Structure 1
Amino acid sequence: MHAIKYITAFLAFLALPVSANAEGQDEKKPVRPKLVVAISVDQFSANLFSEYRSSFTDGLKRLSGGAVFPSGYQSHAATETCPGHATIMTGVHAGRAGIIANNWIDLDAKREDKTIYCAEDERIEGTSFGSITAPTQGDYIASAWHLLVPTLGDRLKKISPDSRNVAVSGKDRGALMMGGHDVDAIYWWKGKGFTTLNGRAISPAIGALNSGIAAKIDKARAPYAIPSRCTARNRAIAVKGGQSVGNYAFQRPEGASRIFRASPDFDGVTVNAALALVQSMKLGQGEAVDILSLSLSATDYIGHAFGTGGVEMCIQMNELDRNLGILFRALDTQNIDYIAMLTSDHGGHDLPERLQEQGLPQAQRIDPKLNAKHIGAQIRKTLALPGEEPLLHADSPFGDYYLSLSLDAQTKAKVKAEAMKLLTNHPQVHAVLDGAILAAMPMPQGPVEEWTIAERARASYHADRSGDFIVLLNKAVTPIANSGLGYVATHGSPWEYDRRVPMLFWHKGITHFEQPSSVKTVDIAPTLAALIGVDIPADETDGRCLDIDGGAGNSCD
């Protein structure tokens, strides 16, 4: 009954006329949109935004005419897709959300595969995640179960049950981390079309879209025309491992649908999926406020496959701008009153071979012996420990390392000390941080760009999921030994190029302004919440409401 009264009062407030001040001038009221469109462009760094900003003519130009925060930060050290998406619509740091990385190790897991994927429910018997880079990934059930906090959509649904919370992404983890637990519709790409949560039926609108995709995806595709501003980047770069990148325009031969994701076409169909749901569900056209979370993944797949400095990324920036324009014009045509927010889950770094050509000699690929298996074998030999069981477990050469559960306390302490010493002394390692020390640290405060490396790691640390110690690599070290798996570049470091992302807000009522000072992605949820009348208690967020109208609209009141 109280919720109904609140909603009725809130809707009545939306209908109030603009009041006049003492001078007779109209007093500007806060923006109250009917649809929140929260967009994450995977691996869209602040550097990419700045580099291409002057060339945007469509969707990104529109966003650049609103409230612009060019120095947004993913505060944490684990700059990966799942942690980054977990901050955007929850307003809390990745560690507090329980999403410490894309994958972590749970040696107590009741299955042979101890790797836990951030967006799976491993409690379901018979499932296994396997490897995200494997040709055939494990049979897991996608779920937001690991997300320990509510999203903005979850909070809105509690006070306004008629509101719709919808999420669409090229990746399941993008949709699940932004949508949360209480979603009316949620879709992500799988195979050759969009799928949804286990046990839910595909909507007719998405089913029709999937049929159209299936009819075209295996057909040959002509290359994209190369914009004139991209021609200087159209140059092949030889990569360790045998391949070259830098001059590919996304042409595909017949039957090559497997490379569809690493092309601008992928964002195009994801936008189409979002618009199919907007139209079929009439989002933003009812009495209640709705939320659409949209995660576009092509920039990330292109960054991994080709790096960020070649013609491939230049074409993608042109097409991203165009695809966002298609999205916004479609919403305009339906006369939907919406606010659009765009940010990214993390930044990215170019491939070391191109960076070396550009005068960055410290750019290098990781030593293939820098991994848990090799370091563990060294420790066993040094400490003369019997047996062959792995002493250390890790999902990658950097990030969380876990000590074997079979070790007694004394041996465990010796192994940990030796491992931290060996890794600290490696020339490609910047720091090795003790998990126990991180656990005892308070969550960092103050200007995010001034946080220490330990404070950045603390923001993505969770006592029940993080490793016994954390390994962080030097700047410009790419944790890919060669391009054999099809990836030439990546992200995941605690450095600015991976942490700094743009944060853009646009609404027809927002006056353009730019705030160059640093802000954080955990500020997004409190900011959007204030606009739609959702109260997030101060002790349930690590962010703050940002004034996105330069004080004119009192958007944080």
Structure 2
Amino acid sequence: MKSFRPLAAAAALLAATPLAAQETPPAQTVPAEAPRAAPSLVVVISVDQFSADLFAEYRAQFSSGLARLMTGAVFPSGYQSHAATETCPGHSTILTGDHPSKTGIIANDWTDFNAPREDKTVYCAEDESVPGSTSNNYTVSDKHLKVPTLGEWMKLADPASRVVSVAGKDRAAVMMGGHKTDEIWWWNGKAFVSYAGRAEPAMVTRMNANVTKRISEAQEPLDLPPFCQARSRAFQLNPTRSAGAGRFARAAGNSTAFRASPEFDEAIVATAAGLASDMKLGQSGHTDLLIVGASATDYVGHTLGTEGSEMCLQLLSLDQTLGKLFAVLDKTGVDYAVALTADHGGHDFPERNREHAAPMAARVSKELSAKTMGLAIGQALGIKGPVLVGGNSGDVYLSPDLSKADRVRVQAEAIKRYMANPQVEAVFTRAQIAGTPIVHTPPETWTLLERARASYDPQRSGDLVIALKPRVTPIAGTEGGSIATHGSFWDYDRRVPILFWRKGMTGFEQPLSVETVDIAPTLAALIHVPVPVEIDGRCLDLDAGQGDICK
């Protein structure tokens, strides 16, 4: 397969034997009575929008990095158990051990009528108190994350432990890195950046220069291997928009197309590998943590869908890129462990779903937007001004300008109108959700209300939470940047793979459900770090024999 041209700054780091030809190191049985020392480096990878469905579809095609991880402990039915299956909430669960109801990250953004600015939308990873900021033009901050992360647990146990977080999105880097990172870098649309005042390491400087050069040059279309050819069919979504048969050809200067391509993940992973090499992570006698947020799969899924040649090329390329990362780490001789998962799943665009045996797939009606619904309610009740704030699903807020009596009237009318819409599955009130107990049962058995409870924060959640019916995509049209998305209560958005690997471990597969909140306590047990707070997750035993890493 002809791949994208390697970035110059990444070439030396990620150069290796063609990865399709590499052999996965054989597993070595470690006797249960001879427990191993803690690994000196933990690598945590989140592949944004890598659903359990995609993992199942492509796992037989992986030959490099993901193939290596599949020789370890494989949990193909992991769950982002909560209802708000978006990027920020999902990333907040991975290294905190907590659901969004405890992390406070209930959505990518929420409404705060007390925000100290005209824009009352608050982005999950911003500091809205910064003068002149908006939810789209913001200062990145970790202030909204209410709980500590694995990296903070490690530093509490050993202050010499180092935490490095690199991602394609600020919210991924921040929510997994936590409040005490040694290095944290994310892509801002033009370059890898960090918090103001942080010195830029030489590797980041080189990578930024090379990415700028790469974007300024055109990218030729990739070759389609046979497996991808079978998925190559163009869907004309509107007069100027098609998807399904792309090969990532890119015009010079198109940074948006760069971001939604395998090139982007290469830049992210190479930056992380470069920092790990330059900082000699895992080589100081203390256990370090390297966090990688691979974001391209999400951008490909949103803009091109999950079932075409584009996603096929993206996942096969990601497999190769991760293999090169592991080759870099192998060369150091460091004993490292890897955990890989995703922040949420995803759903293909309905136009293709309808031709792939899912005729019920649809786009959400514009009537369900909070603005449109609120105008109709206001007119019916004789109330001037907006009465509802929010989107077409998820959190919807009653206007704070309503009187107490009008709030009761508006809420009752909203529930009636939402429930009368054939695309709505359920409407939950704040009181209903708050009164629902937190459960710790298998996540596939949770009711919709229990899923909503796991995403509920009394200071941030809406007055109503709207659940659309299955396979209703919460994007009304195809004119914007996204044609497919996630964010529903349903398992195609909740289910993600969870993989653990360490050289020499005896691999196994456990098809029963586990949760992403289980990742942090499992890694803590693996590196012998106590969990200093009460969390929602539990330790998963990675010993395939009679031993138990959790004891």
TM-score by length of structure 2 reads 0.93
Regions of 4+ moved over 6 Å? none
**Paired residue type of 1:554:** D
Asked if residue 65 in structure 1 is aligned to residue 71 in structure 2, the reply is yes
From 338, 356, 359, the counterpart of 1:358? 356
Residue in 1 aligned with 2:388? 392
Residue in 2 aligned with 1:548? 542
User: 1:345, CA displacement in angstroms?
Assistant: 0.3
Q: 1:242 to 1:211 in 2, by over 3 A?
A: closer
Deviation sequence 1:177-224 (CA, Å, 0-9, x none): 000000000000113220011221211221111112112211111011
Asked if residue 444 in structure 1 is aligned to residue 442 in structure 2, the reply is no
**1:184-263 map, 5 Å:** 184-240=182-238, 242-263=240-261
SS at match of 2:479: helix
Residue in 2 aligned with 1:474? 469
From 125, 133, 136, the counterpart of 1:119? 125
Is contact 1:68-1:505 (8 Å) kept?
yes
Q: 1:177 to 1:329 in 2, by over 3 A?
A: same
User: 1:159, CA displacement in angstroms?
Assistant: 1.9
Q: 1-side partners of 2:368 and 2:194: how far apart?
A: 38
**Paired residue type of 1:391:** V
Gaps (5+ residues) in structure 2?
1-30
Is contact 2:39-2:335 (8 Å) kept?
yes
Is contact 1:31-1:509 (8 Å) kept?
no
Residue in 2 aligned with 1:80? 86
Is contact 1:346-1:500 (8 Å) kept?
yes
Aligned Cα root-mean-square deviation (Å) = 1.2
Q: 2-side partners of 1:554 and 1:359: how far apart?
A: 44
Is contact 1:241-1:483 (8 Å) kept?
no
Aligned residues between the structures: 521
User: 1:384, CA displacement in angstroms?
Assistant: 1.4
Is contact 1:307-1:350 (8 Å) kept?
yes
Is contact 1:30-1:531 (8 Å) kept?
no
**Paired residue type of 1:44:** F
User: 1:280, CA displacement in angstroms?
Assistant: 1.2
Deviation sequence 1:399-431 (CA, Å, 0-9, x none): 101111111111111111111111111111111
Q: 1-side partners of 2:61 and 2:243: how far apart?
A: 23
**1:125-524 map, 5 Å:** 125-130=131-136, 138=137, 140-240=138-238, 242-385=240-383, 387=384, 389-394=385-390, 396-524=391-519
Is contact 1:238-1:353 (8 Å) kept?
no
Is contact 2:32-2:546 (8 Å) kept?
no
From 22, 42, 46, the counterpart of 2:48? 42
TM-score by length of structure 1 reads 0.92
Q: 2-side partners of 1:120 and 1:85: how far apart?
A: 15
**Paired residue type of 2:485:** T
SS at match of 1:483: coil
SS at match of 1:217: helix
After the TM superposition, which of the residue ranges 164-173 and 416-425 deviates more from structure 2? 416-425
User: 1:553, CA displacement in angstroms?
Assistant: 4.3
Q: 2-side partners of 1:199 and 1:412: how far apart?
A: 46
Is contact 1:240-1:482 (8 Å) kept?
no
**Paired residue type of 1:377:** L
User: 1:509, CA displacement in angstroms?
Assistant: 2.9
Q: 2-side partners of 1:217 and 1:488: how far apart?
A: 24
Q: 1-side partners of 2:374 and 2:114: how far apart?
A: 20
Q: 1:240 to 1:482 in 2, by over 3 A?
A: farther
Is contact 2:297-2:311 (8 Å) kept?
yes
Q: 2-side partners of 1:482 and 1:106: how far apart?
A: 28
Gaps (5+ residues) in structure 1?
1-24, 131-137
Residue in 2 aligned with 1:22? none
User: 1:242, CA displacement in angstroms?
Assistant: 4.5
User: 1:554, CA displacement in angstroms?
Assistant: 2.1
Is contact 1:241-1:484 (8 Å) kept?
no
Q: 1-side partners of 2:328 and 2:546: how far apart?
A: 28
SS at match of 2:302: helix
From 97, 107, 110, the counterpart of 1:101? 107
Is contact 2:32-2:547 (8 Å) kept?
no
User: 1:158, CA displacement in angstroms?
Assistant: 1.5
Deviation sequence 1:142-166 (CA, Å, 0-9, x none): 0111000000001111221111011
Q: 1-side partners of 2:481 and 2:88: how far apart?
A: 21
Deviation sequence 1:78-110 (CA, Å, 0-9, x none): 000000000000000012100000010011111
SS at match of 1:254: coil
Residue in 1 aligned with 2:27? none
SS at match of 2:402: coil
SS at match of 1:380: helix
User: 1:129, CA displacement in angstroms?
Assistant: 1.4
Q: 1-side partners of 2:84 and 2:32: how far apart?
A: 47
Q: 2-side partners of 1:86 and 1:310: how far apart?
A: 29
Is contact 1:305-1:488 (8 Å) kept?
yes
**Paired residue type of 1:543:** G
Residue in 1 aligned with 2:528? 533
Is contact 1:42-1:298 (8 Å) kept?
yes
Residue in 1 aligned with 2:12? none
Q: 2-side partners of 1:62 and 1:285: how far apart?
A: 23
